[in-house]
Structure 1
């Protein structure tokens, strides 16, 4: 196995295919068109995930022996299913429940047939080993939720790709240091393809990854994260794998929980689309796509660095601090947005109505 070959191949293949994808889907008129729910103002090709998937797949074929790839057949099978699901959804939107069925089945392949599962929490909350069957159900749940979380965060130029780049790079490094070369190759293949994609997806974007890309990223990276949790890691590399995993996915976890809670409190279905994501908040505060992406990615990197540097304080303390700080930062942004919206609405009130209200209060 050759990690440099995996990175270089996925990068070059994706870089070569991306302009072809852009021209092809523009000529076919298969574009993501602006509407009231979307931020972009120009019709843009949204199947960049095809180039990403092909780049990763060719990199794996060239970098990993067929014997080693055979041991990952259920993982590869799940990835391929998710890819075709994404293509189908990008071409013609599917109902959420239909996508959920395929995602659960793909996770089932990895967990029940591939044997990839979270068996415990490394002693966190006193849980070293999950009860029988619960570990498999819990792992399927995590994979499906985080696959969709990547889809949810893919709302502005460069954000989902940048987060995927950070997570894949870290998991590739951790797998390499642990001697798990197969997982390291998978992770670094994602890194190469993602870096190439970002050259076209950075603000202003020439192409979107679409559900094809976001779901493939989410499925692959979450599965690699589960394997990271279940593979023996030298204490000199990572002492707190559960907390470190939360740090890697902190933006995704926070944003997913945030929008679901907002939807539930406002009486809307939890899977209904809206513009209440954390990146929407930053845009409403006046940042552009690039500034919003850099802000969120920088926070993600800071949290990961904190988890690695201070891992000796223990899983529970790390997770508690990361959770509290993230919630506080989010609350500050929400509060700032509320004040800005209140000030904007106040300016829209005619002077005579303001005068009438002041006299009434007196």
Structure 2
């Protein structure tokens, strides 16, 4: 009964607090206002992450003993730091390097003091274990990068909450199957909070999670994923943990790499916000917020299912297949968007310009 309690508690607390968050921030006019790089057209409260965080923490306190919570003190302390960082950034934007310092310190707390580390790659590329110093450096790098990658997919209504729901539900199931009940309670607490938030964030959204929510989700889910790689999972459950972790976070990974490549090619600053994310492509192709979110979430579920069903194929082959499939679908969407934009420009181009181009070509 503990796991259903965790889900129900986080769901109800998030659901109950969300209208209060919306009302308070509307009353003080602390809203995310539309601008040229944002896709929403109505000023909207953007600190829904406060209700999400409260729901997760309340559910965890309710469903686990104080002794078990004490073993997670460094993880919880680091999560509080990430939460405060998100609140500060949502209230008044911080420089990227300042956020990075706090993220690195929070990840270091979890890795060094909490002993949450990636010790190897399960034989992938012949790597079964890392040198002890590299364990810590690599794990801090993974946590920081994936926290920010998850933050980047929070661009349309319902997407980040849906992906958090999918990832946390899977990790909760694996933790439960493996006998790690504290991690299972934590994961399912995230699931419940995600579901409660989605009821207010589905298009048209009444509230955004902001960095307060997306960084907390990214940090907690990435840390749970690192634990997933480290725990002895029953062989009958998961044979390819590295490939499965890749499948869980395939959308943040692909989207981050894609955006960085575009910015590099165009000469744009690597940390500059833009509208070149995968979800923006789907919107430009004519899909609604809801349909775009459903498409991306369904693909995430499909890839995770592929990783579990075909895990006997091997880690390397699975990762290769998923990477090629994702990149191919992304390339098709990009090509379709380029053609649509070219056709649109051709229609609005003045006749004299078209005529001059024709004469030039002749």
Hey, what does 1:148 align to over in structure 2? Answer: 148
Separation in structure 2 between the aligned mates of residue 354 and residue 255 of structure 1, nearest angstrom? 36
Separation in structure 2 between the aligned mates of residue 262 and residue 131 of structure 1, nearest angstrom? 35
| Residues 7-53 of structure 1 deviation map (CA, whole Å, 9 limit, x = unaligned) | 11101111110001100110011100000110000000000000000
TM-score by length of 2: 0.99
| Residues 205-261 of structure 1 deviation map (CA, whole Å, 9 limit, x = unaligned) | 000000000000000000000000000001110010000000000001000111011
Separation in structure 1 between the aligned mates of residue 52 and residue 254 of structure 2, nearest angstrom? 26
Q: Does 1:342 align with 2:342?
A: yes
Structure 1 unmatched ranges of 5 or more: none
4+ residue runs over 4 A deviation: none
Q: How does 1:223-302 map to 2 (within 5 A)?
A: 223-302=223-302
Hey, what does 2:211 align to over in structure 1? Answer: 211
| Residues 250-288 of structure 1 deviation map (CA, whole Å, 9 limit, x = unaligned) | 001000111011111222221111111000101111111
| Residues 58-107 of structure 1 deviation map (CA, whole Å, 9 limit, x = unaligned) | 11111110100000000000100000000011001101000000000000
Q: How does 1:57-76 map to 2 (within 5 A)?
A: 57-76=57-76
Q: Does 1:314 align with 2:314?
A: yes
What's the secondary structure of 1:133's corresponding residue? helix
| Residues 108-155 of structure 1 deviation map (CA, whole Å, 9 limit, x = unaligned) | 000011000101000000000012211111110110011111111000
What's the secondary structure of 1:32's corresponding residue? coil
Hey, what does 1:158 align to over in structure 2? Answer: 158
Hey, what does 1:106 align to over in structure 2? Answer: 106
Hey, what does 2:24 align to over in structure 1? Answer: 24
Provide the aligned C-alpha RMSD in A.
Answer: 0.8
Structure 2 unmatched ranges of 5 or more: none
Hey, what does 2:78 align to over in structure 1? Answer: 78
Hey, what does 1:195 align to over in structure 2? Answer: 195
Separation in structure 1 between the aligned mates of residue 220 and residue 14 of structure 2, nearest angstrom? 17
Hey, what does 1:132 align to over in structure 2? Answer: 132
CA-CA distance at 1:348 after TM superposition: 2.0
What's the secondary structure of 1:224's corresponding residue? helix
Hey, what does 2:185 align to over in structure 1? Answer: 185
| Residues 146-193 of structure 1 deviation map (CA, whole Å, 9 limit, x = unaligned) | 111111100000000000000000000000001110110100000001
Separation in structure 1 between the aligned mates of residue 139 and residue 174 of structure 2, nearest angstrom? 20
Deviates more, 1:267-276 or 1:121-130: 267-276
Separation in structure 1 between the aligned mates of residue 112 and residue 359 of structure 2, nearest angstrom? 70
Separation in structure 1 between the aligned mates of residue 101 and residue 84 of structure 2, nearest angstrom? 13
Q: How does 1:5-44 map to 2 (within 5 A)?
A: 5-44=5-44
Separation in structure 1 between the aligned mates of residue 75 and residue 183 of structure 2, nearest angstrom? 11
Separation in structure 1 between the aligned mates of residue 121 and residue 75 of structure 2, nearest angstrom? 22
Separation in structure 1 between the aligned mates of residue 169 and residue 335 of structure 2, nearest angstrom? 34
What's the secondary structure of 1:207's corresponding residue? coil
Separation in structure 1 between the aligned mates of residue 252 and residue 335 of structure 2, nearest angstrom? 21
CA-CA distance at 1:347 after TM superposition: 1.3
Separation in structure 1 between the aligned mates of residue 117 and residue 349 of structure 2, nearest angstrom? 57
Separation in structure 1 between the aligned mates of residue 189 and residue 244 of structure 2, nearest angstrom? 21
Hey, what does 1:49 align to over in structure 2? Answer: 49
Q: Does 1:304 align with 2:304?
A: yes
